[in-house]
């Protein structure tokens, strides 16, 4: 097994209503801070007891998995900003995530924006209390295309790529701060790449005058450049396919739609891919991943309490190993258990069972 992590979860863990209320109140509320600290300690114990090789703080302090708008004062809610095409799960046509809302737009330059706190603060508590290896998760620079508005952002930037470059530079500051705190595993989350697997999404982009292939090339090189000059850190990228309320998803279509263009350009130590449903397609696209990059197979769904069969998991890993060697594979859940704070379709008992199974299967497969 060596030092290569084989068992992990993607990021977020279930939160009680009390913890969600505390996250809304924030760390400056002393009573809320106690609740949140206790929730992190619970998350640490849960993951360590499951035998995971890499753990998070459960993202319990976050109201959203992507936190940039919380820490940079350069975004504003603007009219006419669309939302993703959420489907499946408990979503209905009247659900807010489908019918309205959407993303704020960048309206001021990132470099000039006041900082409204330090994104790294939550990691400092985790690393003090964990006995396992820890990681920090944050939105990939490329994800921030969703905050670009041709109507509202051009007063601040020439084009979206200039904006994304400044986001990359800001996040590089965060990476340096994390490394100084002792963080040696940093995971970027990039559901934007998952969206590019979906033929409906790609068609809508083309209809809007965008070039999906050109954006993919720019974004992959941008994300990979985030860690330039950073040493001693395991770098990872998670390609999400949508993890909304009630188990909803926004992207269908296999990774083959993007793998030939994207995977060879992703220079990361680890690539976390979601393979919990038929929507993800086959393992053939793993052949496009750079040699030496470990693919973490997200085979256990966080969209239902149904516990996967160990034999099925082992068979799927063996199938993937025909494309990518077993030494360059690992195992995880498909996504976080609470990418949004509530309406999660998995129970606490189901979450524990899935994490235990990840740890047990990893030991069985990579230590035998």
Which residue(s) pair with 271 in the sheet?
237, 295
d(CA 255, CA 263): 10
**Can you give the pLDDT at residue 2?**
46
| pTM score, whole prediction | 0.92
d(CA 210, CA 326): 38
**Can you give the pLDDT at residue 281?**
86
**Can you give the pLDDT at residue 94?**
37
Angle, CA 241 vertex, CA 201 and CA 12 arms, to 5° = 145
Domains of the chain: 7-366 (3.20.20.210)
Backbone angles phi, psi at 270, to 5 degrees: -140, 145
**Can you give the pLDDT at residue 107?**
96
Owner of token pair 């296999």: 254
Nearest to 293 by CA among 316, 254, 265, 315: 265
Residue 122 tokens, joined: 């939550």
**Can you give the pLDDT at residue 339?**
79
How does pLDDT run along the chain (368 residues), one tens digit per residue? 348 999 999 999 999 999 999 999 988 899 999 999 999 999 999 999 999 999 999 999 998 899 999 999 999 998 766 666 666 665 443 333 333 456 899 999 999 999 998 999 999 999 999 999 999 999 999 999 999 999 999 999 999 999 999 999 999 999 999 999 999 999 999 999 999 998 888 998 999 999 999 999 999 999 999 999 999 999 999 999 866 566 565 667 889 999 999 999 999 999 999 998 777 889 999 999 999 999 999 999 998 999 999 999 999 999 999 999 999 999 999 999 997 777 788 999 999 999 999 999 999 999 86
Contact by Cβ (8 Å): 41, 129: yes
How crowded is residue 12: how many other Cβ atoms within 10 Å of its Cβ?
25
**Can you give the pLDDT at residue 97?**
37
């Amino acid at each position: 097994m060596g030092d290569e992590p084989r068992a992990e979860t993607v990021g977020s863990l279930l939160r009680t209503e009390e913890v969600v209320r505390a996250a809304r109140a924030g760390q400056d509320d002393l009573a809320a801070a106690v609740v949140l600290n206790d929730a992190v300690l619970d998350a640490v114990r849960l993951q360590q007891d499951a035998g995971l090789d890499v753990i998070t703080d459960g993202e319990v302090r976050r109201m959203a998995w992507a936190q940039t708008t919380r820490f940079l004062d350069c975004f504003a809610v603007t009219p006419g900003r669309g939302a993703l095409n959420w489907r499946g799960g408990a979503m209905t046509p009247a659900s807010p995530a489908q019918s309205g809302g959407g993303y704020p737009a960048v309206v001021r330059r990132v470099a000039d924006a006041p900082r409204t706190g330090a994104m790294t603060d939550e990691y400092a508590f985790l690393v003090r209390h964990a006995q396992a290896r820890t990681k920090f998760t944050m939105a990939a620079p490329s994800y921030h295309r969703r905050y670009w508005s041709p109507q509202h952002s051009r007063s601040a930037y020439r084009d979206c790529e200039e904006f994304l470059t400044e986001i990359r530079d800001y996040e590089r500051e965060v990476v340096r701060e994390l490394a100084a705190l002792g963080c040696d595993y940093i995971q970027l989350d990039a559901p934007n790449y998952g969206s590019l697997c979906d033929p409906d999404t790609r068609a809508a982009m083309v209809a809007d005058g965008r070039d999906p292939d050109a954006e993919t090339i720019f974004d992959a090189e941008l994300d990979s450049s985030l860690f330039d000059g950073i040493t001693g850190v395991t770098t990872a990228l998670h390609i999400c396919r949508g993890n909304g309320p009630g188990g909803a998803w926004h992207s269908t279509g296999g990774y083959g739609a993007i793998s030939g263009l994207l995977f060879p350009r992703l220079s990361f130590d680890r690539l976390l891919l979601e393979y919990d449903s038929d929507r993800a397609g086959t393992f053939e696209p793993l052949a496009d991943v750079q040699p030496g990059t470990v693919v973490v197979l997200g085979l256990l769904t966080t969209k239902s309490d149904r516990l996967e069969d160990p034999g099925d998991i082992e068979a799927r890993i063996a199938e993937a190993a025909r494309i990518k060697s077993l030494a360059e594979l690992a195992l995880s859940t498909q996504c976080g258990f609470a990418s949004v704070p509530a309406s999660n379709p998995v129970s606490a008992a189901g979450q524990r069972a899935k994490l235990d199974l990840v740890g047990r299967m990893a030991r069985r497969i990579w230590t035998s």
